[in-house]
Structure 1
């Protein structure tokens, strides 16, 4: 389950990066627009541009290391 990992990262990186959660069952147009095939899928946007995406469970240390690279 990714929710606790994301919540922890959101606290660790508060003010530096924003995390948004989308319920694709309630908003299927978003899943279609971003070609989301599996859950969880993480989209990384910077200045309005999609710069990365990855899917599946990611252990907390790996997830946080991904976040750090986007802050540079």
Structure 2
């Protein structure tokens, strides 16, 4: 499944249904670039989760509302409610387990 960008205007709608992982990132962030291919792989392997990307530089209103202070930050939503978050560039097995703990 393709990873779509979310923004200030559509964020709440995009996280409102099912299990959604939001990758809070920025272009200049090296660790964010390390996480991106891992999320691409997981989006192809895990059909029961939607993965979205939020560029914190372009969407500062949402980033501030969410209290993002460090990137990459992965936010896990279930039917519109934030259920967990993970900060940092972690390896694929840890990210996968983080998601699976909330299925």
Both proteins in one fold, TM over 0.5: yes
Segments of structure 1 that go 5 or more residues without pairing to the other structure are none
Let me know the Cα RMSD of the aligned residues. Answer: 0.8
TM-score by length of structure 1 reads 0.91
Segments of structure 2 that go 5 or more residues without pairing to the other structure are 1-33
Structure 1 segments of 4+ aligned residues over 4 angstroms from their partners: none
Superposed, 1:1-72 pairs within 5 Å as 1-14=34-47, 16-71=48-103
Q: Report how many aligned residue pairs link the two structures.
A: 70
* Higher normalized contact order (CA 8 Å, seq sep 6+, divided by chain length): 2
Q: How far is the alpha carbon of 1:54 from its aligned partner? A: 1.4
SS at match of 2:84: strand
Structure that is richer in strand per residue: 2
TM-score by length of structure 2 reads 0.65
